[in-house]
Structure 1
């Protein structure tokens, strides 16, 4: 009788198949365990005048207490959809209050609805990340799939302004090691491009994600500032994108 053994995937392989939100959650748990262990160990070493059994109980108490304290905020985390709904609810409440103070607010809201229909996609996912666009053209998706592990390992990318782009004067291309992999969505580029033109210096990083069945590919982008001045400019860009993404 032949016994077949199924090849089990490693934990690292399973981790790489998770989407960025799930990866972030797992990293958070690992960091909380490590920090709690280090704090508890430091306290136990410092209290060296207690007996061994007492120090172990102190270590255990501090470890559990630290872990609970660090994990306290997890229950308050929201999904992308919940965050979006809460943000929209605040906007609706603000509009309702304004409508009560102004008789003509109904006409203004109708104008805003017309504007919403014409708005450009921003790629904003309500988690300080953008979803890149344009990867389905010029063989970029095939390149991303082929080099997914390399890109996620060295995930810093270059943002290249294309003011002469015939489709969008605010175009911002995304390049990895000299290869164009996509674009910032036009709805976000209209705010990001002027900031870049005005000297904002930021670091852009990406994460290439594919669904378990390998059918869906997304590229998540996030940015960090290089100075205090850049931080102010980047926060203003984020604010503009969030309000536009209403």
Structure 2
């Protein structure tokens, strides 16, 4: 967390871009395999997860939450001009965490698990009031069986390419395969790329969960850039 903070006005570090919305800060210490590009103009990104450069949709998600944090800091400072850097940072961090929890428990988990399972594990959000069941002694981490096995169902939902859309939901012509964007942050640097990616995720119909995965993962996930893999 300390590595990500700007240590000024409660902000997270960001990459200012002229006439555009900010991007994630640059990754200073490039390691081989982290991503394919790391130059002054097409740099890799730094975030709270080392997988941020894995694919552009994930990078875009990190970017959206960075922008939201810094937006909240600005708004909080207007209402509370007496707050210092620490207070602004942690209040904004608390709000961003609450937004993510609301989306996870209020929208995503009900779709994945269904209402019956949600009730069994007492996961539905309360319609009124505040949750009073918090216990500091409870371990909130995911079990290894879930993280390593059950949660992998999401891999069957991966598309062969990341769709881009404009604000009307119209698809932007883009034919690059997913494996060409793995560990490759270069397209994120294009004007409006993050917005088009996020809108593409919003408007594209999700795949159904099944036993099949796209060839972009099964055949090209660890492909060396510039090489062609042949199968017999």
Q: TM-score, normalised by structure 2?
A: 0.31
Of structures 1 and 2, the one scoring higher in RCO (CA 8 A, sep 6+) is: 2
Higher strand content, 1 or 2: 1
Higher helix content, 1 or 2: 1
Q: TM-score, normalised by structure 1?
A: 0.29
